[in-house]
């Protein structure tokens, strides 16, 4: 006899849910860093053939010809010239080495790739701009994040930073670092921000680091004016992050590894900086000094400071670059088409990124405002800057103020967002639009500059050097170019001959103009 069967209750119906994992942390970081490299390119592209100006007319060929066959000669050559620069009130030992190395890189790139010097020079300066954008991103993440930098997804600030920084890469006048000494000053700004970022991320202090940090501080004091700002910015960044992000008390902040390292940086920096300033003051008290680095403190300083503190605002720089002309054209459309996919990918990554609370955002704001004020103060102390009448004109301080100003915008967006993702999306879209307008402003500045007879002459010289013709016909063309230069700048003809003859002797074994 079989047992009666009992029907089992039906199994509960469970809906199947497919969980789609986002990209790993490494992929998110690679995307963030790649955007920091790609976003500035459409902004800078209109300037790729911009003619060299001022010292660049000579230095690319002079430094390239001098050091092409012996790059290490840059060191003794710079050291030997140091007394003369000190008498003129200028001390940029390592900065001048970097400047010569960048000129050599441009000259070598032109020699190897067959590019005119103007194009090669701009490409080298573009690399410094990309480096600055990447370092700015790393500084933001170093300040706002609590854990290991690359052990967690980047913050929601990462999609915003490249657009905020790149929008400031505007050729706002002939003294803007996007035009003049771009490679040097943009790289110097990257060094300044990089020092702050590195010190913020120190977890433990090792005793053998002490002499290296002291030497590093001394090297900053022997670099240039922008590098002088690295120790004070690093100090503020370490303290702001310790208090606002890590929640440390005063004693814990002052005894932390970043604070110890920053203190040693000051130990190396101050003796060299003060000694050099004393020597320069004595020289300048008895004779004229180079106005580009001369310090003039007075009522004009306080009048100029607020002007320089807001000169980074893109609308002001657009006005200075375009002189009021309209920014509508093919470059604006092309920039929008290039930047739109980058903005879309940045927005798509937002849900997978780390949130930023109000206190870390405030720490970033403190660091960015400090950087702007330090650089603006440096500019306000210069006599030439005090005479600038057009708001938004660039100077060497703009390498810092435009980048730090962009980080102020990022900090404001983070504080306004407070987990409202639509604010971040709107910020990316608006800043991408501003970046496209900056590209159009650069095109306008380029057209204005290249409309001059001098600029066209410099580019013709660059083309002649790139495609060097050893025949009598080539020599005749070069002599004609020399005559045109002499008619425009008779006082600079000797410097022209020295620089170009060094380059042509290295490249072809002949002077620029045999006749």
Q: pLDDT averaged over the chain?
A: 88
Instruction: Extract the tokens encoding 400.
Output: 């810092």
Cα 10 to Cα 250: distance, rounded to the nearest angstrom = 65
pLDDT higher at 469 or 43? 43
For position 204, what pLDDT does the model report? 85
Q: What is the pLDDT of residue 409?
A: 96
pLDDT band at residue 292 under the 50/70/90 scheme: low
Residue span of the structural domain in which 83 resides: 25-454
Residue 354 lies in a domain: yes
> pLDDT tens digit string along 107-156?
999 989 889 999 999 999 999 999 999 999 999 999 999 888 888 999 99
Average pLDDT, integer, range 344-363: 92
| pLDDT (mean) for 282-296 | 72
Confidence bin at 309 (pLDDT 50/70/90):
very high
Q: What confidence score (pLDDT) does residue 16 get?
A: 35
* Mean pLDDT of the 162-171 span: 95
Q: pLDDT over 70 for what percent of the chain? A: 93
Q: At what angle do helices 257-286 and 182-200 cross, to 10 degrees?
A: 150
Q: Tell me, yes or no, whether 397 lies in a domain.
A: yes
- Helix, strand or coil, per DSSP, at residue 180: coil
Q: Among 160-164, 176-180, 291-295, which range has the highest average pLDDT?
A: 160-164
pLDDT at 419: 73
Above 80 in pLDDT, residue 219?
yes
Q: Note whether residue 130 is domain-resident.
A: yes
Provide the number of structural domains found in the chain. Answer: 1
- Note whether residue 8 is domain-resident: no
Task: Tell me, yes or no, whether 361 lies in a domain.
Answer: yes
DSSP 326-379: ---SHHHHHHHHHHHHHHHHHHHHGGGSBP--HHHHHHHHHHHHHHHHHHHHHH
Is 16 within the bounds of a domain? no
**pLDDT above 50 (res 377):** yes
Residue 118 lies in a domain: yes
Give me the pLDDT at residue 373, please. 96
User: Which of 20-24, 149-153, 187-191, 395-399 holds the top average pLDDT?
Assistant: 187-191
Q: Are 385 and 331 in contact (CB under 8 A)?
A: no
């Amino acid at each position: 006899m079989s047992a009666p069967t009992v029907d089992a209750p039906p199994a509960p119906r469970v809906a199947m849910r497919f969980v789609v994992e986002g990209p790993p942390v490494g992929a998110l970081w690679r995307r963030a860093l790649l955007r920091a490299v790609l976003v500035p390119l459409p902004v800078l592209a209109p300037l790729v053939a911009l003619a060299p100006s001022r010292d660049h007319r000579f230095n690319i060929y002079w430094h390239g010809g001098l050091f092409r066959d012996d790059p290490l000669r840059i060191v003794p050559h710079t050291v030997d010239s140091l007394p003369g620069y000190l008498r003129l009130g200028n001390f940029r030992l390592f900065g001048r080495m970097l400047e010569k190395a960048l000129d050599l890189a441009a000259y070598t790139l032109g020699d190897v790739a067959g590019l005119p010097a103007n194009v090669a020079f701009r490409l080298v300066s573009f690399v410094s701009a990309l480096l600055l954008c990447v370092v700015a991103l790393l500084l933001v993440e170093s300040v706002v994040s609590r854990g290991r930098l690359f052990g967690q997804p980047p913050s929601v600030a990462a999609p915003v930073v490249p657009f905020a920084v790149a929008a400031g890469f505007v050729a706002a006048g002939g003294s803007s670092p996007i035009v003049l000494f771009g490679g040097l000053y943009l790289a110097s700004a990257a060094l300044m921000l990089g020092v702050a970022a590195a010190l913020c991320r120190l977890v433990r202090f090792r005793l053998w680091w002490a002499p290296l940090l002291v030497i590093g501080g001394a090297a900053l004091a022997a670099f240039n004016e922008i590098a002088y700002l690295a120790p004070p910015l690093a100090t503020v960044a370490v303290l702001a992050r310790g208090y606002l992000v890590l929640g440390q008390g005063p004693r814990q902040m002052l005894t932390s590894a970043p604070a110890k390292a920053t203190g040693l940086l000051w130990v190396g920096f101050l003796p060299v900086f003060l000694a050099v300033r004393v020597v320069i003051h004595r020289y300048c008290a008895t004779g004229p000094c180079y106005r580009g680095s001369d310090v003039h403190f007075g009522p004009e300083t306080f009048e100029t400071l607020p002007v320089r503190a807001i000169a980074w605002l893109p609308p002001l720089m657009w006005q200075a670059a375009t002189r009021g002309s309209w920014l509508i054209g093919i470059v604006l459309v092309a920039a929008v088409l290039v930047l739109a996919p980058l903005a879309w990918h940045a927005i798509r990554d937002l849900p997978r990124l780390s949130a930023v609370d109000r206190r870390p955002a405030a720490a970033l704001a403190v660091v960015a405002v400090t950087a702007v004020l330090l650089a603006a103060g440096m500019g306000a102390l210069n006599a030439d800057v005090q005479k600038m009448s057009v708001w938004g004109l660039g100077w060497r301080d703009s390498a810092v103020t435009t980048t730090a100003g962009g980080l102020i915008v990022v900090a404001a967006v983070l504080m306004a967002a407070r987990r409202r993702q639509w604010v971040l999306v709107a910020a990316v879209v608006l800043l991408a639009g501003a970046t496209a307008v900056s590209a159009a402003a650069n095109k306008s500045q380029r057209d204005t500059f290249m409309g001059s007879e001098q600029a066209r002459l410099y580019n013709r010289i660059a083309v002649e050097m790139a495609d060097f013709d050893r025949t009598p016909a080539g020599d005749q063309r070069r002599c004609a170019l020399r005559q045109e230069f002499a008619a425009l700048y008779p006082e600079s003809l000797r410097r022209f001959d020295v620089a170009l003859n060094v380059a042509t002797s290295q490249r072809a074994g002949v002077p620029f103009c045999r006749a």
